[in-house]
Chains A and B, each alone.
Chain A
Amino acid sequence: MGVSMLAAGPARAGGRPILGPRDGGLPSGPVLADFTAVERLLLDAARRAVVPGWVALILRFSAFPPPGPRTYHLSVARSLLEDAVHRHGGQVFAMRNGDLVLLAGTAVLTAPLPAHGGAAPGETLPDLLLRLFRADCAAPERLIGILTLPDARERLLTYASERLGDIGGTATGDQPRMPIADSRSLTSVAPGPLPDLLHRQTAVLIGSEGARLRPLFREVMSTNAALEAEAGDTPIEPDPFLLHHYAARLERRVAAALPTEIGRSGALDPALAPPLHVNISPAGINSDAFLELAAITHAAGLLLGAEIPLTDAVADPAGLELARARLAREDIAYVIDEVSHLALTMTELGALGASLYKLAWSPRIETLAGAERQALDGAIHALGAGRLAVTGADSEAALHWGLARGIRRFQGRHVDAMLAAARLTVCPAAAACTLRQCQERASAVAPAGRHGCANTALLDAGMPTGAP
């Protein structure tokens, strides 16, 4: 098949529905031998777009907000466009920059989708696309361009020329812009001493006037490097379940390693320090190693907290029940971690009975509007802002958002910087340190990471007593 297929008009029913690189066996016709022709074919089709009654629907995945579209955004959109072609005729062009262009009759925009019992009554293809992308994109309408032909023919020509220009007009066999991986990939890292691969971060309570900070607890967490070291030489493809597997293995090692770090005048010693929180699953809490950790921290006068990821709590209800009983018996704080704003609105978290729920900050939260924003605000009110902490507070925006809703507990890199600044104002040895150094040393668990600090008592306390 070549350009001649499009000679009669921009596109026509019954033709090959998808033109462009394929991403994994989607139902489509024969693959063009020369993928690079796609941008040129679109340009040719735009030049011939002089017949009324046609539209170009452009899905601008290249403009998807960071971190970019996921694989399924593209494949599902492509499947929906192809389905539209089957019903109304037309053609889909898959651009190398990730964009998809549908050239079809105007009915493709206006005809209601088949009801099937699931689609909203009267919903059209653009409506559905907008609805689908809304979960990941604050302004999905910016992703969808509709050009009515032939009036907007010049704009389509410009768009097609730009796409051809993107690839220099002559590129051959280039791959399309890849969507982001559904999960980060692991690489092989030589295993080192575990404490070197651990990290700690202090959560704070911000006073009602917004000025005073009070350290609440120090969370000890595994770094990505620790997870990667756990994977060793095993070749791994990006997969959340594999990451969970390695996290569970690592959790056992951390629980076994922590007791040796306590009582050695190191980062986990109790002097003036806020309670210690560990990330752990219900199975980990029910293990002997955790009991030993609890006994050692108790003997050292250190208060302990257990942070259970929401997914683990839901996956193992029987284990959670036992774990809760053990935490209550041992007087250990019970925290639910890794709660997304969607989880907050779609679940009744209070049923888990934790003393604190850690809401993972995302810039998407700030952009919620209408019903979504109301639902989130309602969920915060129902759970109680006092039982929530915002984590990943790496910017001032997270603090502003939380404080505006009565949330006063925060954790994140912005908080780290605030604590470091407060320490530097009172530390007699501050002249030798930068803010960044103080911040990094406070996050280290291993002695090597704290090297250079002449006031580790203040470093471990998180915040000088009585400081504003």
Chain B
Amino acid sequence: MTAALSRRESLRELHDDEPRGSPEDARRLGALARECGASGIGRQVLQLRLSDLPEGRSRPHHLQLAREALLPLTGAARAQLFHLPNQDLVVVWRGETPALRHCLDALSLLFSDDPSFGPDPMSLAVSLTLPDDAEIVLRAVEQSLRPRRAMVKAPTGNLPLEPATLFALERAIAQSEMSRFARREPVCRNGAEGMRLAWERRYLSDSELFDTILPDRAPRADPWLFRRLTRTLDRRMLSLLSATEEVRGVPPFSLDLNVASLLGPEFLRFDANLPTALRGYVILNLRPEDVLSDLASFCFARDFARARGYRLLLGAIEAAQLRLLPPARSGFDFVAIRHDPATAAWTLPIDVDPDGIVLTQCETAGAIAWGKAQGISLFQGRIVTPPRPRRS
């Protein structure tokens, strides 16, 4: 492959029916990342993680569409295209280009018609900067060279949920032992001493739960039935946390809840059992569409929760939605904003207090850097978890 792609070459390569992932491309990308890291030469990187596509979405025509979405970028200055052995595609180029925006827009549309689509379509595209993200690029290269492993299992079911199935699922959830699906995810505050735990998000892993008890269905395929299901999960989570041992001596935590759940008997029981030491340190995470669907209930729930010492978090929203939902007007203490490659082109409005913003889905150092540049200090996401041990 030449250092820069001609339009014709890029078209031909991107239109290949059989992707030509090669170890050679992986090694060359690794060399380029190391070179940038050593010399400080700046490059932009877009990684298209086709290896993350669920089985039903990685058929040749899907891959073809995804590859074509990269086309605008191949015209950028010093653009290079790398086919990694695991089918991931990486484009590296120099300088800013409006083609990135076009490319991300096209990618966002790829699977937008399918709400059951496992990963967020935008998480398929990772925008990186060299030399800052050289380590992430090298890790991607390393992973692509490994034998194809059992990846994190994406939801395999594709049958939509129907109300009758939903009711059966709710009954199953009501009778299942749920503690094995309970998870914690750190939310860290970046300060003078680096990242420190601010609180833990405690939740039930719905994807693992559904894979276990309803593997042939895609519960997210119907957004409204799925939201209804989250209320059942809320109740089970609150029941779990009503046990004294679950809340004794634990750090501050947040809970994902529906407004209706906040006003239900399980929450009142949870509230009655909450240790005094945790009063003022539990954060309730509400979704915007749930809040807006019944604002009178929300206002009641908000005032009740605050009087009982809870703090409220709205999220996660897209950065652009912040203008629509000014946190100061709705009485939220925090707003969670999802980071995605498009966020990099956005600036926090001047009237929004960055101390009240939590940047979620941070997957790259670039995301953290962007957040810091905006004055944001609270972060959540894969890169915010404790670093994994390095391979020798």
Please give the residue numbers on chain A whose beta carbons come within 8 Å of chain B beta carbons, in ascending order: 23-27, 70-73, 75-76, 79-80, 82-83, 113-119, 123, 128, 131-133, 135-136, 182, 231, 234, 236, 239-242, 244-245, 248, 286, 310-312, 314-319, 322, 340, 342-343, 345-349, 351-352
Contacts and interface: CB of A to CB of B under 8 A. Distances in A.
Given A27-B272, A72-B263, A72-B264, A315 B309 contact: no
B225 A245 contact: yes
- Chain A interface mostly: helix
B325 interface: yes
B31 to A, nearest CB: 37
B329 A347 contact: yes
A35 B222 CA distance: 43
A449 to B, nearest CB: 30
Contacts, number: 157
A314 B113 CA distance: 17
B67 interface: no
B279 A116 contact: yes
B307 A128 contact: yes
B173 to A, nearest CB: 15
A83 B279 CA distance: 14
Contacts of A133: 300
B269 A318 contact: no
Nearest to B324: A351
Contacts of B307: 113, 116, 118-119, 123, 128, 132
A234 B163 contact: yes
A239 B271 contact: no
A198 B292 CA distance: 26
B96 interface: no
Nearest to B161: A245
A29 to B, nearest CB: 13
Nearest to B222: A245
Q: Which of B109, B260, B307, B329 has the most CB of A within 10 A?
A: B307
B295 interface: yes
B306 A118 contact: yes
Interface string B219-233: 000111101100100
A317 B227 CA distance: 17
B113 A286 contact: yes
A83 B272 CA distance: 8
Given A72-B297, A322-B112, A346-B295, A132 B260 contact: no
Contact of B109 (A135, A322, A349): A322
8 smallest beta-carbon distances between A and B, as pairs:
A116-B309, A72-B263, A315-B289, A118-B306, A241-B228, A117-B280, A342-B295, A244-B224
A234 B164 CA distance: 7
Interface string B281-315: 00000001100111111011101111111110000
B239 to A, nearest CB: 10
B268 interface: yes
B16 interface: no
A206 to B, nearest CB: 28
Given A136-B296, A318-B108, A348-B323, A118 B310 contact: yes
Q: Which of B272, B300, B317, B325 has the most CB of A within 10 A?
A: B300
B318 interface: yes
Given A132-B300, A242-B163, A319-B112, A348 B306 contact: no
B329 A345 contact: yes
25 contacts: A25-B269, A26-B269, A27-B269, A72-B300, A75-B264, A75-B268, A76-B304, A79-B272, A113-B307, A114-B279, A116-B279, A119-B308, A119-B309, A123-B307, A128-B307, A132-B300, A132-B304, A135-B299, A240-B293, A240-B294, A245-B228, A317-B317, A318-B112, A351-B323, A352-B324
A348 B324 contact: yes
A131 B301 CA distance: 11
A18 to B, nearest CB: 12
A346 B325 CA distance: 7
Given A27-B268, A79-B271, 13 more contacts: A26-B265, A27-B269, A75-B263, A118-B307, A182-B297, A311-B289, A314-B289, A315-B223, A318-B318, A319-B112, A340-B295, A342-B296, A346-B329
